[in-house]
Amino acid sequence: MRSRHVIVRTVGYVLYGIVAFAIFVYLMFPYDLLRYRLGENWSQRNVQLDVASLRPTFPLGLRLQQVRVAATNGQSPRVLIQLDTLRAWPKWTSLLAGTLHAGFEGTLYGGRITGEIRHATDKGAPVWKGQAHFVDLDVAQYPWSQQNGRVTVRGRLSGETTVTMNKRGRVQRGTSNLRLQSVVFTPAKTLRLFLRRDLPCETLEWKMTMTKRQWKIARLRCQGDDVLVDIRGTITPRYPAGSSKINLQLKLQSEEAFKQELATLGQLVRLNPNPRGELAFKLRGTLSRPRSVR
């Protein structure tokens, strides 16, 4: 009996030592070096990753502050996303299975993001699969919503998106299901010929599926007071973006509020709005050189 107690006590001390050592390593790990290595690794993929602070958080996770991701592609960096805080933690069952599966949550643009990312194989090839949920994001704070210091889109965004990328970070497939409330579009300089004032939408719905060869817009619909914009169709991505092929169906409607703008657009596509103020046509060609089709 006494020897059994000795064995149990010894095993307990060993386990305590292992756990204490693991906690020591976790707390004393050189996280600044990890932050530097992460930025260095992403830079090889034409992506600039800046993290102001990276620290451990309980239970066994990481907390990042002021995270900024920008695309370079040999040009001046263009911000893709910027988060105030981001907390990530591993799914322990996946580690036991020899894979990586992590959850995350954070704050950005005055709202909240949650989701998960995991490493998997697709037809024998390694891929990254991610899923994100957005709640009440202020799109006016998003860098792409600003042009020459002027905000072009305002509203609050919620929804979810999924994406599968190869090891080089290229999108293989994905889905987006987003909804914006109280949206206001301020026309950019290139659009002021057709739209001279703000376009308000009570709601804007966006549903799209993506593959590496084609993006399908199932629904892009702006609904407001006496204004309706509905766009559906496909985009075949090319580089540069202006050479991407488009096959879109557009329906625009406004009886009074944007009657003049519809008439101007109708002259361009050689169509007249019907008595209900509806104008429907198709766009073919490329993003840089679209052409209208009846």
pLDDT at 235: 93
Task: Find out whether 99 and 118 touch, Cβ atoms under 8 Å.
Answer: yes
pLDDT at 40: 59
Q: Is the pLDDT of residue 233 over 80?
A: yes
* 154-211: pLDDT as tens digits: 899 999 999 888 877 677 899 999 999 988 888 766 666 667 788 888 999 999 999 9
Cα–Cα distance between 212 and 201 in angstroms, integer?
31
Q: What is the mean pLDDT of the chain?
A: 79
pTM: predicted TM-score of the whole model, two decimal places = 0.76
* 241-263: pLDDT as tens digits: 789 999 999 999 998 888 888 88
Comparing CA positions, the residue from 170, 83, 182 lying closest to residue 132 is: 83
More confident residue, 197 or 46: 197
Q: What residue spans define the domains of the chain?
A: 1-85, 86-293
Cα–Cα distance between 190 and 16 in angstroms, integer?
67
Q: Report CA Rg, the chain.
A: 25
Among the ranges given (12-16, 42-46, 102-106, 231-235), the one the predictor scored with the smallest mean pLDDT: 12-16
